[in-house]
């Protein structure tokens, strides 16, 4: 009776799925993905006037030492992050201060497009806040493995009862792919800063998680975490300049910090 019930269950399942199953999907051995720094977000970098708006355009250029990080050394496939290199970014922020509370958002271009919501507090000599957004990162994905070259079909049976058939590989051929894909990566973080007269110092912690799929397989991708430290000077009401450093790593035991430097200039429309 027990075998009969099991047979009926398997038969019903195969009937729902179809009479023939397939086991011919490509096998992935190694994946290499370009991984950018997490987006940088900060506040006003000055003591804003209550009930006033700020509209700022910022451009930055930076460089980090290039490094290939083995972030998933074991499992069904190995995953590498390609990190570092020259980085050119542009961004626009719109912030509004209500008493000490600040609210706003922004969007930017940095190896893709990102946009975010920002809120925080701004006082006479310091500020702090948080942000949440989406990073549509443009990934360069390179992967290799083996694809099914020839197949055969065999019966699936239980106690002599043929339940269906299965298509399986009899030989494989190696393959390599090099593609570009847009991600839809949530990111979030916090920022803090202090300012005295025309000088300001700010810090931002930002991280994102990635969702990518290749050959109908979802990749298990670690978080990317970035720390930004900047020192800046406000020339006048329209311009400021900053220099800083960024430290980035993947949330993996095998990952190491990637260090970089950057410089930027901001223009204030409001």
pLDDT digits (tens, 9 = 90+) for 74-111: 778 899 999 999 999 999 999 999 999 999 999 999 99
pTM, 2 dp: 0.85
Dump pLDDT digits (tens) for 122-145: 999 999 999 999 999 999 999 999
CA distance 18 to 13: 8
Half-sphere exposure of 203 (CA within 13 A, CB side): 7
Are 270 and 53 within 8 A, CB to CB? yes
148 beta partners: 172
Alpha helices (H) in 218-268, listed in sequence order:
none
**Rg of the chain (C-alpha set):** 26
What confidence score (pLDDT) does residue 220 get? Answer: 87
What confidence score (pLDDT) does residue 9 get? Answer: 52
CATH code of the domain occupying 20-144+176-268: 2.40.160
Domain ranges of the chain: 20-144+176-268
């Amino acid at each position: 009776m027990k075998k009969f019930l099991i047979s009926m269950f398997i038969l019903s399942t195969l009937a729902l799925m179809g009479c023939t199953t397939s086991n011919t999907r490509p096998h992935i051995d190694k994946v290499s993905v370009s991984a950018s720094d997490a987006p940088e977000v900060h506040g006003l970098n000055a003591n804003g006037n209550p009930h006033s708006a700020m509209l700022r355009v910022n451009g930055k250029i930076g460089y980090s030492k290039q490094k290939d990080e083995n972030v998933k050394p074991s499992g069904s496939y190995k995953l590498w992050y390609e990190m570092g290199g020259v980085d050119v970014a542009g961004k626009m922020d719109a912030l509004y201060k209500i008493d000490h509370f600040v609210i706003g958002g922004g969007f930017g271009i940095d190896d893709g497009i990102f946009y975010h919501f920002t809120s925080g507090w701004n006082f006479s000599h310091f500020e702090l806040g948080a942000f949440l957004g989406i990073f549509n990162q443009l990934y360069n994905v390179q992967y290799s493995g083996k694809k099914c070259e020839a197949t055969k079909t065999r019966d699936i049976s239980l106690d002599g009862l043929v339940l269906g058939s299965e298509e399986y590989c009899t030989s494989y051929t190696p393959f390599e792919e090099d593609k570009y894909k847009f991600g839809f990566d949530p990111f979030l973080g916090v920022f803090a800063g202090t300012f005295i007269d025309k000088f300001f110092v700010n810090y931002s912690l930002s991280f994102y998680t990635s969702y990518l799929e290749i050959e109908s397989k979802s990749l298990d991708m670690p978080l990317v975490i970035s720390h930004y430290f900047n020192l800046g000077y406000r020339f006048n009401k329209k311009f400021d300049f900053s220099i800083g450093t960024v430290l980035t790593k993947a949330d993996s035991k095998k990952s190491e910090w990637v260090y970089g430097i950057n410089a930027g200039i901001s223009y204030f429309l409001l």
